[in-house]
Structure 1
Amino acid sequence: MPPLRIGTSGLAPAPALTSRRSPTSRPSAISSRIGQGGNGRLSSTGGAEAPAPPAKRLGTRYACGSAAKLGGLACPPSTRKPPRKNPSASEWEPGEERVIMQTNLLDGTAVQRRRPSGRAGPVMAGKRNPSLDRCVLCASRPSRPRHLTDAAVIDPEGRSDQRDRLREGLSRMRVGIVGVGAIARYYLPALVWHPEVELAVVCDRDPAKARQVPPGVVFVEDLRLVLADRDVDAIVVTLPNDLHHAVCRDALLAGKHVCCEKPLTVDPEDAAELDELAAATGRTLFTAFHRRYNHHALALADRLRHRVPPRRAELTYRELIQEHCDSDAWYLDPARCGGGCVIDNGSNAFDLALWLLGPLRLQAALLEYSATGADQQAIIELDTEAHGTAAITLDWAFHGEDKAIRLEWDDGPGDCVDLLAGFAQFKSSLWHEYRGVVDDFVATALHGRGRQDTGRMVTELVAATYRAGRKTA
Structure 2
Amino acid sequence: MSLKIGIIGMGVISKFYVFALQNKLNDPLLTAVCDLNVERLENFNDSEVLCFSNYHDLLTREDIDAVIVNVPNDKHFEICRDALKARKHVCCEKPLTLTLKEAEELVAISREMNVTLFTAFHRRYNIHFVQAVEMLTSKEEIAAVHASYLELIEEHAGEDKWYLQPERCGGGCVADNGPNVFDTLSFFLGKMRVQAANIIRDEHHVDIKASIQLITNSDIKVHVELDWGYLHGEKKDVLIMLKNGQKIYVDMLEEFPEFKSSLYHEYEQILLDFKRQIELGNCHGEAGLDAVRLVQETYETENLKI
TM-score normalized by the length of structure 1: 0.62
Match of 1:392 in 2: 224
Q: Which of 161, 167, 170 pairs up with 1:335?
A: 167
Q: Please, which runs of 5 or more residues in structure 2 have no aligned partner?
A: none
Distance 1:426 1:372 in 2: 27
Q: Deviations over 1:254-286 (max 9, x none)?
A: 010000000000010000000011011000000
1:403/1:419 contact within 8 Å kept:
yes
Greater share of helix: 2
Higher-Rg member (1/2): 1
**Aligned to 1:424, which of 257, 282, 286?**
257
Which amino acid is 2:292 matched to? T
Q: Is the 8 A contact 1:238 1:261 kept in 2?
A: yes
One-letter code aligned to 1:435: E
Aligned 8 A contact 2:115 2:281 in 1: no
Pairing 1:252–2:84 present: yes
Match of residue 101 from structure 2: 269
Q: Aligned letter for 1:181?
A: G
Report what 1:286 is aligned to: 118
Comparing 193-202 and 258-267, the one that deviates more: 193-202
Whole-Å Cα distance in 2 between the matches of residues 393 and 428 of structure 1?
Answer: 22
Mapping of residues 69-468 of structure 1, within 5 Å: 171-192=1-22, 193-213=24-44, 215-305=47-137, 308-399=140-231, 400-445=233-278, 447-448=279-280, 453-468=286-301
Distance 1:307 1:389 in 2: 12
Greater alpha carbon shift after TM alignment, 233-242 vs 206-215: 206-215
Aligned mates of 2:31, 2:105 — CA distance in 1: 28
Q: Cα RMSD (Å) of the superposition?
A: 1.5
The percent identity for this pair of structures is 38
Opposite residue 205 of structure 1, the aligned amino acid is L
2:304, 2:10 → 1: CA distance? 37
CA–CA distance in structure 2, aligned partners of residues 197 and 402 of structure 1: 31
Residue 309 of structure 1 contacts residue 386 of structure 1 at CA under 8 Å; is this kept in 2? no
Tell me if the contact between 2:193 and 2:297 (Cα under 8 Å) persists in the aligned partners: no
Name the SS for the 2:290 alignment partner.
helix
Letter in 2 for 1:199: L
Query: Whole-Å Cα distance in 1 between the matches of residues 296 and 139 of structure 2?
Result: 32
Task: Note closer, same or farther for the CA distance 1:330–1:422 as it changes in structure 2 (3 Å cut).
Answer: same
TM-score, normalised to structure 2's length?
0.95
**Alpha-carbon distance change, 212 to 471 in structure 1, aligned in 2, over 3 angstroms:** farther
Q: 1:210 & 1:359 partners in 2: Cα distance?
A: 40
For residue 306 of structure 1, report the CA deviation from its aligned partner: 5.2
Aligned residue pair count: 301
Task: Please list every run of 5 or more consecutive structure 1 residues that lacks an aligned counterpart in the other structure.
Answer: 1-170
